[in-house]
Structure 1
């Protein structure tokens, strides 16, 4: 089990997090550019994030409370004085006989390399099994994103293939390594 770094806690997202999430994404825009699709300006606004938070995906945030936030962060984000320093999203959730979801995650550039992504991914896997009853989770990384591949390996994901021109990232269709983690082999509930 991964321990969450000191001063950081992981919690489920709420609709009240739109402004904090927009601030975190704006703060990390340049840092995440090589790993992300091109985004509209509206994406980086509280309104844009409010729409995303209402899209039916499940989200978890890593937050730092009080003055521990990233350097230069003056905004008071979210409930209290929390600053979002990472997020994980489980989308494309399919139930029935498939019982699967697609994982995405990121960590603030000022908090990278501290085990936070691993803790976020582990929390998503726990919730996917215990709360959603999913059988598996899938994830994809750019071929050269070795840091993300290490996170997935630490969390029990196995590489299952490579998808050519899989996602449009940073202005071009990019190949991705695909990974999955089988959470359990229990049968799904009867349909």
Structure 2
């Protein structure tokens, strides 16, 4: 259990219908922080195809992906991806996350980020985890700070969000200073 009756587990094809419903329910609220998505993204089929791609990337060692679900009924209430996994001298990855608007403000995103950082260090052997937020996304910046991330830069026109290239504040969490695995 992460917090408040919510569990975090690896995403699977069985999550497609629930994630489609959750994304559709949060579509308007997330539009300002998300890429423009085709209507198919918000369908079970669209989510099944997306998850199939994520699972292929996971099997190739490039991503780990989690869904946050209500412990009682298993309905998705958020998700986290730790992707762009790089080994060797960098030994890091980039995290992205979202939480259903009905579940925000309960510490769920912070607890999930802390758990992903634990996994990144203890199971994946990563040195650092990075994240980016839109410059005006103060709520997400607070979440990252609570989870031990520190701001380290500004990336002009970093991601194409809501129809335009947007500036992002960059954050990092250094997990340890051990040398990379041999």
TM-score between the two structures when normalised by the length of structure 2? 0.90
Contact 1:60 1:120 in 2 (8 A): no
Gaps of 5+ in 1: 67-80
Paired residue secondary structure (2:154): strand
Q: How many pairs are equivalent? A: 174
Paired residue secondary structure (1:39): coil
Structure with greater helix percent: 2
Q: Which deviates further from its counterpart, 129-138 or 54-63?
A: 54-63
In the alignment, the residues of structure 1 paired with residue 162 and residue 129 of structure 2 have an alpha-carbon distance, to the nearest angstrom, of 24
Contact 2:125 2:181 in 1 (8 A): no
Q: Say whether residues 1:177 and 2:169 are aligned partners.
A: yes
Of residues 8, 12, 20, the one that matches 1:10 is: 8
Contact 2:29 2:101 in 1 (8 A): yes
Q: State the Cα deviation string for residues 92-120 of structure 1 (Å, max 9, x = none).
A: 11112211111100000111111011011
Q: Say whether residues 1:59 and 2:65 are aligned partners.
A: yes
TM-score between the two structures when normalised by the length of structure 1? 0.86
User: For residues 96 and 51 of structure 1, do their structure 2 counterparts lie closer, same or farther at Cα, with a shift above 3 Å needed?
Assistant: farther
Contact 2:4 2:108 in 1 (8 A): no
Q: Say whether residues 1:122 and 2:120 are aligned partners.
A: no
Alpha-carbon shift at residue 185 of structure 1 (Å): 1.0
In the alignment, the residues of structure 2 paired with residue 155 and residue 94 of structure 1 have an alpha-carbon distance, to the nearest angstrom, of 22
Gaps of 5+ in 2: 58-62
In the alignment, the residues of structure 2 paired with residue 6 and residue 117 of structure 1 have an alpha-carbon distance, to the nearest angstrom, of 11
Alpha-carbon shift at residue 62 of structure 1 (Å): 1.5
Paired residue secondary structure (1:153): helix
Alpha-carbon shift at residue 50 of structure 1 (Å): 2.3
Paired residue secondary structure (1:174): strand
Alpha-carbon shift at residue 14 of structure 1 (Å): 2.0
- What is the RMSD computed on CA atoms of the aligned residues? 1.5
Contact 1:4 1:115 in 2 (8 A): no
Contact 1:89 1:105 in 2 (8 A): yes
Q: State the Cα deviation string for residues 28-85 of structure 1 (Å, max 9, x = none).
A: 111111110100112112222223223312111211144xxxxxxxxxxxxxx31111
In the alignment, the residues of structure 1 paired with residue 70 and residue 86 of structure 2 have an alpha-carbon distance, to the nearest angstrom, of 32
In the alignment, the residues of structure 1 paired with residue 120 and residue 181 of structure 2 have an alpha-carbon distance, to the nearest angstrom, of 15
